[in-house]
């Protein structure tokens, strides 16, 4: 049985598109079934991507709710009504309440544009450039109440190049996001990820070989 997933978005949905390409209705024998794409912004371009792919969409405008907890209760009801067993945050720009996160513990993942635990929060690419790191990247992790924490499922590293600005680095990281998010979700759907304490352990997967150097050793 495919894992039934709700994808939550707030914007353009580029990571949503990567998930659609990997697991959308056109994919035969997919281990993942996207049962709803839900946005807190009625004008989110990602909703068009979902509709074009033939996916169910729903809108819950957070501005219509007096309190964050009320929004989260409605969000939880919408997700469960769609039959979702798992939640994927794909550019969802809302801080979720502790109760919502607890209800979906180890059943909700996020992608962050940095190699956690480094550069939690916003402006990750600017901060990476200012710090002078030579490797940057992205992280897929289970969600916990403290922002940008939780068991790490997968990471992708990209080099920081001498002529990089924020836009160039962000573009390179985003391409890595589009590869790693479907990979992480597939591993979960196939039952290859288990949580031990606050560590995500990947079963039955070969370890990568080699070392990424920047600058390269000539």
Read off the pLDDT of residues 43-89 as tens digits, 9 standing for 90 and up: 999 999 999 999 999 999 999 999 999 999 999 999 999 999 999 99
Fold: same for 1-104 and 111-204: yes
Read off the pLDDT of residues 77-128 as tens digits, 9 standing for 90 and up: 999 999 999 999 999 999 999 999 999 999 999 999 999 999 999 999 999 9
**Domain chopping of the chain, boundaries:** 1-104, 111-204
- What is the CATH topology of the domain spanning 111-204? Rossmann fold (3.40.50)
Q: Which residues pair with 109 in a beta bridge?
A: 88, 142
- From the list 62, 112, 125, 136, the catalytic residue is 112
Read off the pLDDT of residues 159-187 as tens digits, 9 standing for 90 and up: 999 999 999 999 999 999 999 999 999 99
Is there a catalytic annotation at residue 62? no
Instruction: Give Cα separations from 77 to 7, 110, 206 (angstroms).
Output: 14, 20, 39
pTM of the prediction? 0.96
Under a CB-based contact definition with an 8 Å cutoff, are residues 111 and 90 in contact? yes
Instruction: Report the CATH architecture of 1-104.
Output: 3-Layer(aba) Sandwich (3.40)
pLDDT of residue 210: 86
For 90-144, list the strands marked E by DSSP: 108-112, 135-142
Distance CA 172, CA 216 (A): 18
């Amino acid at each position: 049985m495919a894992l039934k997933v709700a994808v939550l978005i707030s914007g353009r949905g580029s990571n949503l598109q990567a998930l659609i390409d990997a697991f959308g209705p056109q994919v035969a024998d997919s281990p993942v079934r996207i049962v709803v794409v839900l946005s807190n912004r009625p004008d989110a371009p990602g909703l068009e991507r979902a509709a074009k792919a033939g996916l169910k969409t729903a809108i819950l405008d957070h501005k219509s709710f007096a309190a964050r907890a009320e929004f989260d209760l409605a969000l939880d009801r919408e997700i469960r009504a769609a039959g979702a067993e798992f939640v994927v945050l794909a550019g969802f720009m809302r801080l979720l309440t502790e109760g919502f996160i607890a209800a979906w513990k180890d059943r909700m993942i996020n992608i962050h544009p940095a190699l956690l635990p480094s550069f939690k929060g916003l402006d990750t690419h600017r901060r990476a450039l200012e710090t002078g790191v030579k490797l940057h990247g992205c992280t897929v992790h289970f969600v916990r109440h403290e922002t940008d924490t939780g068991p790490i499922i997968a990471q992708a590293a990209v080099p920081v190049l001498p002529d990089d600005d924020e836009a160039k680095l962000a573009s390179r990281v985003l391409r890595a996001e589009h590869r790693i998010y479907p990979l992480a979700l597939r591993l979960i759907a196939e039952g290859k990820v288990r949580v031990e304490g606050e560590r995500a352990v990947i079963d039955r997967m070969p370890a990568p070989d080699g070392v990424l150097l920047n600058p390269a050793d000539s």
